Amino acid sequence: MAWFTRVTRFGDTHLVYGQEANMSCGIASLMMCVFKLNKLKPGKTAITVEQDIYKKYEAAMGGVKYQPNQVGTYGDKLATILTSLTSGTWRWHTTPPNSVISTLIDKVGVDPGIGPVVDVEPVILGVDWDLGGAHWVVVDTIRDVFGTRYATICDPWDANVHIQKIKDTGPFYYDASSGGFNVNFWGTKPKGTLMGMKYDNSSKGQVKTWGMIYRD
């Protein structure tokens, strides 16, 4: 697909990658993490190509050909690829639902007020949709504005940024209809089906079975 520039109500800019195929949300989320971490590091590649990541995923799967319109991606394999492309060690964690938000806050960190954030520590979340199927998304910032915290969710399916209010602890429940005001530059991505389910901005789900991918 392509990269899209999104500006949130907090005055921050996020580059979001729109997934190329129905089941390549994990690959797209991986690409976003690589960009967000490597964009200012000399000698590091920030913009990766989806087809190149397919090849790395196939290698992680022992040479099994990746078919992005038919099968999804495994968290442990995505973590292995991220470790090879960035610094540090990434791992996939089947985090208990009630610990997801506290872990997310601990890993991403909280930025006060408004304005751009340059250095981020993104986390990939695996969302189990209420109506079936699952989806990978990226949270790259958490804001604290007047005592209320908001997670910034970069969703590769609609290539958009969703701003969602969160508490300090408990399960993370992603409502794709949430977003608040944001400015979208360079186009939009059409809706369709995702993992056999209709996916649009009314989809909702919880981080449960597929857990979290983050850097230790």
Mean pLDDT, residues 59-72 taken together: 86
Give the pLDDT confidence score for residue 50 in this predicted structure: 77
Structural domain that includes position 8: 2-215
Residue 193 pLDDT greater than 70, yes or no: no
- The whole-number pLDDT of residue 146 equals 92
Q: What CATH code is carried by the domain that includes residue 60?
A: 3.90.70
Rounded average pLDDT over 93-113: 96
**Average pLDDT score over residue span 67-77:** 88
Which pLDDT does position 194 carry in this prediction?
Answer: 42
Q: Give a three-class secondary structure readout of the chain.
A: CEEEEEEECCCCEEEEEECCCCCCHHHHHHHHHHHHHHCCCCCCCCCCCHHHHHHHHHHHCCCCCCCCCCCCCCHHHHHHHHHHHCCCCEEEECCCHHHHHHHHHHHHCCEECCCCCCCCCCEEEEEEECCCCEEEEEEEEEEEECCEEEEEEEECCCCEEEEEEECCCCCCEEECCCCCCEEEECCCCCCEEECCEEECCCCEEEEEEEEEEEEC
- pLDDT given at position 49: 75
Q: Where does the pLDDT of residue 102 fall: very low under 50, low under 70, confident under 90, or very high at 90 and above?
A: very high
The yes-or-no verdict on residue 195 having pLDDT over 60 is no
For the whole model, what pTM was predicted?
0.88
In the chain, the percentage of residues whose pLDDT exceeds 90 is: 57
Query: Domain tally for the chain?
Result: 1
Query: What pLDDT is stored for residue 177 in this prediction?
Result: 78
Averaged pLDDT score across all residues of the chain: 86
Percent of the chain with pLDDT over 70: 85
Mean pLDDT of 86-99: 96
Average pLDDT over residues 38-49: 67
Rounded mean pLDDT, 204-211:
94
